[in-house]
Each structure stands twice: as structure tokens, then as C-alpha cells.
Copies of this chain bind each other. A is one copy, B any other.
Amino acid sequence: MKNPPALEQLIDSLRCLPGVGPKSAQRMAYYLLQRDRNGASALSAALETALEVVDHCKLCNTFSEQPICPLCAADNRDKNLLCVVEMPTDLLMLENTHAFMGMYFVLMGRLSPLDGIGPKEIHLDKLIKRAQDGLVNEVILATNYTVEGEATAHYISELLKTRGIKTSRIARGMPMGGEIEYVDSGTLAQAMMERRNV
């Protein structure tokens, strides 16, 4: 005895969401079918649209609906500075501080060998190429001050230094183990100003 096939299929499909196990997928499916059919329909459409229109910016690698994202295409940014962050959220957080007017590169992750995330998964080839466009003269590493974020910054700084590219790290203005996404603007702005060579 099982749920109807289309319901089982929905429960299965919900399990592709990170952190969602069989029990919670079932609870979600029941909830959607019973109490929020409009929400379910909107979610289906939003998934389809996002898959269709959202890709990665060719320059900074963040999510974008254009080949070059609005920030990379803007003409009021300092093309000499390239700030490397782990995730798009980190970019948005830094923008909100108004402490940085340069360009970005988004790794879409951090080195994490145990999870199978190596240099390729965080697009380091693309970063190296980006940093050698002839305009960038300093790469600011703004990965998190976690163990993995630190290891990632160290790895990238080695790569860049062998290519003669000046590299700095945002100052440790945040608490140890802290993640950029959760730090207040003031602290983050200070960390940006006090960046040091590495």
C-alpha cells in the first residue's frame, strides 16, 4: 500500500532540496496538496522560469539573467580592484556596505576536499583568467573566516602570487568562525578598509 504515484513522485522530487529527508518531503507534499495549491503552482512556475533565464555572469560568475551582469556592465566601478567572495549573498552583503566600488568574482563555493569540492568546482581557472585582464592590479580575498574559507583564500593567494598578481585579504574584523553573510555592515566595511597583503 502506497500513496498515489503522482504523490510519491512529488515526495521523491522534493528530496532534491538540500536538508530535506523522506519524512519532511512527505510532510511538504501533503501540506502543498492540502493547504497551498497556489503556492505549489507558483513554485513549479518559478523553478521553470529560473532554470530558463538564470545562468552565471561570464565575468564575475554570479547568478545573472544577462551574459554580463549589471554590476560587471556598470561604468562607474573601479576595474583595478577584484574582490573574491564565496557566494552571491556575500557580494550582496558587501555592496550594502558601500565600502567597495571595484569588481567581484564569485567562487560559488569554497574548497572542501571532503565534499569533493576542489579548485575546478570553485572555478579557479576562470578567476585566474579574470584577474589577468590587464586592468586588475589587486585581488582582494573576501572569503569567510572559517577553516574552509581561510584554506580557500590561502590556496588562491598562492596561485595569484606565482603569477605576480598583488593579493590582499579583508581584515579580520569579524569574530573567528564568523560568516560574512551574518556580520553587520560596519564591521564588514572596516574589514574591507583594513585589508592586508598576503
Contacts and interface: CB of A to CB of B under 8 A. Distances in A.
A50 interface: yes
Q: How many monomers of this protein are in the complex?
A: 2
The secondary structure that dominates the A interface is helix
Contact of A50 (B19, B33, B87): B33
B42 A6 contact: no
Q: Taking each of A1, A5, A54, which has the highest tally of chain B beta carbons within 10 Å of its own beta carbon?
A: A54
Interface residues of A, number: 58
Interface of A: 1-7, 9-10, 12-14, 16-19, 24, 26-34, 36-37, 39-54, 63-65, 69, 71, 87-89, 91-92, 95-96, 108-109
Given A18-B28, A44-B44, A89-B26, A50 B6 contact: yes
A60 B140 CA distance: 63
Given A43-B13, A46-B12, A65 B27 contact: no
A151 B39 CA distance: 30
28 contacts: A1-B91, A2-B92, A4-B54, A4-B64, A4-B69, A6-B50, A6-B53, A6-B65, A7-B54, A7-B63, A9-B46, A10-B50, A12-B46, A13-B42, A13-B43, A14-B43, A16-B36, A17-B43, A18-B27, A18-B28, A19-B27, A33-B50, A33-B63, A40-B47, A40-B51, A44-B45, A44-B48, A47-B47
